[in-house]
């Protein structure tokens, strides 16, 4: 029976199809990009110097020019992801490694911003725009798109060589010599480390031909840049050789359909039990909460109020969002609206209580990088809680706003010299007599020389 393609249906992906000229140029340009990342960012941790912003600018141009050449439309938020990535790329080497966990998060987020930019520029976001499936986009950008296309750069090189070597014997001979010397030098360096006689021959040989240690390091970085470049080009070509994202909203919800079996009464039971528990908790906390409002409270009592249950309240906020997400994705019918409204109203209340505890603790003991990071994330959670509550009254893209707020606020936080601001605030707090002593260990870890 003859099979016919239905008009409008997605065409099957052909990994054996020849590469277009823009992708061949992109494959060649991925080599210097990968070398720059490997040598100046990966092995030198890229926090002091020009490498990170230069790599970001070159990478943005590389992706954008290739996508333009293939007439690929970009998502509306593409400039936002590019701007956040550039801001982070400039701030990280400007302020150096930020202690207290911020620096580690910056490294992870820096790579995520790059992935989300590529997906947005190439039209490979799962929902067509940034939304609730943004973390699914991150997984697709890290694993689904680049790794199946990891060998694409090698295939592109073979395609170029087929065209060039068949027509030019000089090019074929040059390629053979370069490939042989590269493999031979790599094997020689490894065997020299395993045998001292061969190492002596290596030293004599390198001295005779004036081969310096810099040349050996150059070869080392070149070899390690090969898989990096293959991953970079795999991500780009994996996006541009597809017609639709790896996971679409329709496919995602279809995959969830067998799991959408959460009974409505179960959702009512969970929400009702939590609302009852939360109401009891706030009733018991009311007296202590009001007494901790800076009026006649002794330092020991204020410290006890500030410390008691702070991180537990943080976890309660995260639990609330997990419960809402589970009900949204797993319940075929929405729970009763008044019960959901009551549950969502507890979110801002918990965020404000947690903020009051954090403020009391900072007033007594000063700032630390961890407290700054906790304060920033608490403000984000407060906004998310308000968005979840308002979303019950009016339909709007709350998830999209939440993701943009998280990304932009983190980029703004990274643009501030957090370590220096903490030192200045703690010294001011001590000079004004708000704290009895300075935590000099924290200040010296942040670069204070006093």
What are the pLDDT digits (tens) for 179-202?
A: 777 777 777 677 777 777 777 776
pLDDT band at 247 (very low <50, low <70, confident <90, very high): confident
Q: How much is the pLDDT for 97?
A: 82
Nearest to 66 by CA among 140, 147, 121: 121
Taking the CA of residue 120 as centre, how many other CA atoms within 13 Å lie in the half-sphere pointing to its CB? 21
Instruction: Check: CB of residue 219 under 8 Å from CB of residue 186.
Output: yes
Instruction: Give how many domains the chain has, as a whole number.
Output: 2
Distance CA 255, CA 126 (A): 14
Across the chain, what does the average pLDDT equal? Answer: 85
- Predicted local confidence at residue 340, as pLDDT: 96
Query: Does 1 fall in a domain?
Result: no
- Looking at the fold, whether 334 and 405 belong to one and the same domain comes out as yes
Burial 145-154 (b: 16+ CB within 10 A, else e): bbeebbebbe
Rama region for 45: left / alpha / beta (φ>0; ψ in -120 to 50; rest): left
Better-predicted residue by pLDDT, 59 or 43 = 59
- Checking if the pLDDT of 93 tops 60, the result is yes
pLDDT tier for residue 7 given thresholds of 50, 70 and 90: very low
User: Which token pair is 106?
Assistant: 């910056």
Asked whether the beta carbons of 34 and 226 are under 8 A apart, the reply is: yes
**Per-residue pLDDT for 436 more than 70?**
yes
Assigned domain for 449 exists? no
Mean pLDDT over 7-32 rounds to: 70
pLDDT band at 172; cut points 50, 70, 90 = low
Share of residues in the chain with pLDDT > 70 (%): 83
Indicate whether 448 belongs to any domain: no
Range scoring the smallest mean pLDDT among 20-34, 90-104, 126-140: 90-104
Q: Check whether 66 has a pLDDT greater than 90.
A: yes
Whether residues 336 and 198 fall in one domain: no
Print the domain residue range for 294.
260-416
On whether both 308 and 212 belong to a single domain, the answer is no
More confident of the two residues 92 and 156: 92
Residues composing the chain: 450
Please list, in sequence order, all residues whose beta carbon lies within 8 angstroms of the beta carbon of residue 191, skipping any fewer than 6 positions away: 198
Q: Which of 259, 287, 303 is the last residue of a domain?
A: 259
Distance, in Å, from the CA atom of 353 to the CA atom of 364, rounded to the nearest integer, reads 17
Reported as a pLDDT band with limits 50, 70 and 90, residue 11 is very low
Same structural domain, 272 and 253: no
Model pLDDT, residue 10: 39
Same domain, yes or no: 337 and 399: yes
Asked if residue 429 is part of any domain, the answer here is no
For residues 280 and 372, membership in a common domain is answered with: yes
Asked if residue 328 and residue 239 are part of one domain, the reply reads no
* Shared domain check, 264 and 136: no
Q: Is residue 430 situated within a structural domain?
A: no
Residue 424 domain flag: no
Q: Centre a 10 Å sphere on the Cβ of residue 99 and count the other Cβ atoms it contains.
A: 18
User: Which of 7-21, 84-98, 269-283, 387-401 is least confident?
Assistant: 7-21
**Does one domain contain both 181 and 32?**
yes
Q: Pick the last residue of a domain from 259, 281, 297.
A: 259
Judge whether 307 lies within some domain. Answer: yes
Q: pTM score, two decimals?
A: 0.84
Residue that terminates a domain, selected from 233, 259, 285: 259
Categorize the per-residue pLDDT at 343 as very low, low, confident or very high, splitting at 50, 70 and 90.
very high
Check whether residue 65 and residue 208 sit in a common domain: yes
Residue 281 has what pLDDT? 93
The position carrying tokens 């995260």 is 318
Domain identity same for 70 and 168: yes
427 found inside a domain: no
Of 350, 381, 361, 378, which Cα lies nearest the Cα of 281? 350
232 and 276 belong to one structural domain: no
């Amino acid at each position: 029976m003859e099979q016919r393609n239905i008009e409008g249906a997605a065409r099957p992906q052909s990994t054996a199809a020849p590469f277009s000229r823009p992708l061949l140029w992109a494959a060649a340009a991925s080599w210097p990009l990968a070398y720059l990342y490997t040598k100046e960012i990966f092995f030198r941790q890229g926090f002091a110097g020009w490498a990170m912003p230069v790599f970001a600018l070159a990478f943005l141009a590389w992706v954008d020019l290739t996508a333009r050449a293939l007439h690929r439309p970009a998502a509306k938020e593409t400039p936002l992801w590019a701007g956040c990535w550039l801001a982070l790329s400039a701030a990280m080497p400007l302020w150096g490694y930020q202690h207290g966990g911020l620096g580690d998060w910056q490294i992870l987020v820096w790579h995520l911003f790059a992935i989300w930019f590529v997906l947005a520029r190439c039209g490979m976001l799962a929902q067509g725009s940034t939304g609730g499936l943004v973390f699914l986009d991150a997984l697709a950008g890290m694993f689904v798109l680049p790794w199946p296309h990891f060998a694409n750069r090698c295939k592109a090189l073979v395609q170029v060589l087929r065209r060039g070597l068949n027509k030019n014997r000089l090019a074929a001979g040059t390629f053979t010599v370069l490939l042989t010397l590269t493999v031979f030098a790599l094997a020689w360096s490894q065997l020299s480390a395993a045998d001292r006689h061969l190492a002596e021959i290596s030293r004599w040989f390198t001295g005779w031909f004036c081969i310096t240690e810099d040349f050996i390091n150059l070869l080392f970085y070149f070899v390690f840049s090969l898989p990096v470049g293959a991953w970079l080009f795999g991500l780009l070509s994996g996006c541009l050789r597809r017609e639709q994202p790896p996971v679409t909203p329709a496919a995602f919800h279809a995959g969830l359909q067998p799991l959408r079996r959460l009974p409505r009464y179960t959702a009512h039971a969970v929400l009702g039990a939590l609302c009852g528990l939360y109401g009891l908790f706030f009733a018991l906390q009311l007296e202590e909460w009001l007494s901790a409002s800076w009026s006649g409270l002794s330092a020991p009592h204020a410290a006890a109020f500030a410390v008691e249950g702070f991180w537990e309240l943080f976890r309660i906020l995260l639990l609330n969002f997990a419960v809402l997400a589970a009900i949204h994705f797993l319940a075929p019918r929405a729970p009763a609206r008044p019960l959901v409204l009551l549950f969502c109203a507890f979110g801002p209340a918990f965020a404000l209580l947690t903020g009051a505890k954090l403020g009391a603790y900072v007033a007594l003991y000063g700032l630390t990088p961890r407290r700054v990071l906790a304060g920033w994330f608490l403000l984000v959670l407060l906004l998310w809680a308000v968005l979840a509550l308002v979303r019950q009254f009016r339909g709007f893209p709350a998830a999209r706003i939440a993701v943009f707020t998280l990304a932009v606020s983190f980029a703004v936080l990274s643009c501030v010299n957090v370590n220096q601001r903490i030192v200045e605030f703690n010294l001011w707090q001590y000079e004004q007599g708000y704290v009895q002593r300075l935590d000099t260990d924290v200040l010296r870890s942040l670069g204070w020389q006093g």
